[in-house]
Amino acid sequence: MRDDTIPVPGAADRAVAYGDLTDDLLRTDWWTDAMLARADIPVVDIPFVSIGGGIGSFVTVDYLRICGVPPSAIRVFTQLDTPWESYEYLTRVSQIPRGERLRSDSASCPDNIWGFPSYALREAMATRSLKPLAHVLVEPIFDDYWTPKAGQAFDSMEQEYHRIRYPEMVVKGQVRMVRRRMGGGYFTILTPPAGATRTKRVAFRSRYVHVAVGYPGLKFLPDLMDYRETYRDFGSVVNAYEPHEQIYERLHRAPGTVLVRGGGIVASRVLQRLIDDRDARGLSTQILHAFRTFVDGPHGPHAWMRRPGGDGWAYQGFNYPKSVWGGQLKARMRKLDGQDRAALYEVFGGTNTPKRRGWQAQMRRGRQEGWYRAFQGEIATMEPGPQGTVQVQLKTATGPARAQVMGVIDCTGLEADIREHRVLADLLDHGGAGRNPLRRLDVERTFEVRGTRSEPGRLYASGTATLGGYFPGVDTFLGLQIAAQEIADDLAAQGFCQALGPVRSVNQWWKWVCGERI
């Protein structure tokens, strides 16, 4: 990247690196323009900035562009080449490559705020087949939910990415912090990529900031970390969100046992991969499957709020009941605060996976033929065994057990505490932000981060960092779009963009249909 991609006046003329954070800046919650001038940090003015550049930034920018905000008024700070890069990496390593189907439904389209034409309709048109339409007509009673292929989501996002001129708004770099500005608005400190500019930091002075930084980090369970650090073996005991092809390859080379841990969709996908490989290559892989909570039947507080379950799993089409995105649970949660809100999250939360017919048939076959064994249990200890294996001591519901495995695939955790993310930690310590009843970032119904206002500026956040707020489905395509809509409505009320009324909406939808650049 060259200096001119970040319009820093005079940066290219400076002989030595300049412009870094000072102790004064680090310690102070509210900054003045003079403090940045003293630190020799160049300041760039832009009305709206979005931090992260993943799908949350993309759908928010999409909304604002559709609501009439020009590209010159928006900047997205990111290290990604495309908004779906991070997501594509996570789906690929957790066994959802482009050709496999995602979890969300046909109308959850991050490239299309109207959700119409849906992915199923588009697939039907592209393949000249009525099958996807017949499928959505009978789901979920006579068939599983129809869901799009990952590749379809990425390709369609790419079209919208060009249509809204997203690349013009991207500034590469890592955001270090956001601080409130005396006199209104915010300063966002960006560290440009090494060698891109002589200044070490650039400050973007904006009225509005949107934070969409995704997952604060991978959550490695202590037993996994202990094993890896003690025995310096990073290839046998893995988190499913890390590349772990080596385990499948080892199982191709020699017969062995693998231990899978977790009861969510990633565990389902990993099992599918193991069983597909077993079938396709004639392998004799043995699968042990540990559930911390073993669900043996339908569960829930009332007859009308029960979730199916069995064989260890809790079953649900999507990660929450569907009414969370637009029905009675959405309306109910919007009215709750504090412990009442936390209690409702507790009722419908919990790990679950879709009950897909294909997965059920594979596991049934595995149970009957004795090569798939699921149990309630936890790992007590792990140590290296003979020939590159791992000796696992288990605490199961029926007592201690031992297993010698080729690999352990942990499918339990992606989500670390928000404090592990530097920008979020800084917002908690210096930005006035607080935690919600689930200990994540506390946001208003408009997705403004409570406590961070710097009049007339506003700081918004969306995505998983805000789970526990008035709207539960935040970490999904549709949830990110609903958050974007709330943010756009709030910005329209302040005169920053046009309101998305029926005339603008139909007009913009037609432009979308025609693929017209805006």
The residues of the shown chain that bind ligand FAD, judged by CB under 6 A, are 51-57, 77-80, 86-87, 90-91, 94, 102-104, 108, 174-175, 212-214, 414, 423, 463-464, 475-477, 480
CB 67 within 8 A of CB 504: yes
DSSP 458-474: EEEE-SGGGTTSS-TTT
C-alpha 104/C-alpha 318 separation (Å) is: 6
Output the smallest distance, CB 90 to ligand FAD, in A.
4
**Is 197 or 257 the residue whose CB approaches ligand FAD more closely?**
197
Q: Is the omega angle on the peptide bond into residue 140 within 30 degrees of 0, that is, cis? A: yes
The Cβ-side half-sphere exposure at 254, using a 13 Å CA radius, reads: 8
**Is 379 or 414 the residue whose CB approaches ligand FAD more closely?**
414
C-alpha 352/C-alpha 356 separation (Å) is: 12
CB 77 within 8 A of CB 49: yes
**Is 216 or 377 the residue whose CB approaches ligand FAD more closely?**
216
Output the smallest distance, CB 217 to ligand FAD, in A.
10
Q: Say which DSSP state 143 is in.
A: S
Output the smallest distance, CB 54 to ligand FAD, in A.
2
Neighbours of 495 (CB within 10 A): 7
**Is 52 or 256 the residue whose CB approaches ligand FAD more closely?**
52
**Is 53 or 437 the residue whose CB approaches ligand FAD more closely?**
53
Output the smallest distance, CB 368 to ligand FAD, in A.
30
Which of 476, 88, 129 lies closest to 319, judged by CA?
Answer: 476
Phi (first) and psi of residue 480, to 5 degrees: -65, -35
**Is 79 or 230 the residue whose CB approaches ligand FAD more closely?**
79
Output the smallest distance, CB 179 to ligand FAD, in A.
14
**Is 94 or 199 the residue whose CB approaches ligand FAD more closely?**
94
Output the smallest distance, CB 61 to ligand FAD, in A.
11
Which of 69, 77, 65 lies closest to 161, judged by CA?
Answer: 65
Output the smallest distance, CB 394 to ligand FAD, in A.
27
With b for 16 or more beta-carbon neighbours within 10 A and e for fewer, the 299-328 pattern comes to eeeeeeeeeebebbbbbbbbbbbbebbeee
The CB-nearest residue to ligand FAD is 54
Given the DSSP bridges, would you call strands 313-314 and 399-405 parallel, antiparallel or unpaired?
A: unpaired
Phi (first) and psi of residue 307, to 5 degrees: -115, 135
Q: Give the pair of three-digit tokens for residue 160.
A: 């919208």
**Is 237 or 480 the residue whose CB approaches ligand FAD more closely?**
480
Output the smallest distance, CB 82 to ligand FAD, in A.
10
Where helices occur in 335-421 by DSSP H, the ranges are 338-348, 357-369
C-alpha 318/C-alpha 264 separation (Å) is: 11
**Is 51 or 69 the residue whose CB approaches ligand FAD more closely?**
51
**Is 83 or 457 the residue whose CB approaches ligand FAD more closely?**
83
Q: Give the pair of three-digit tokens for residue 70.
A: 């020009």
Output the smallest distance, CB 209 to ligand FAD, in A.
12
Output the smallest distance, CB 174 to ligand FAD, in A.
4
Q: Give the pair of three-digit tokens for residue 205.
A: 């002075």
Q: Give the pair of three-digit tokens for residue 105.
A: 């439904």
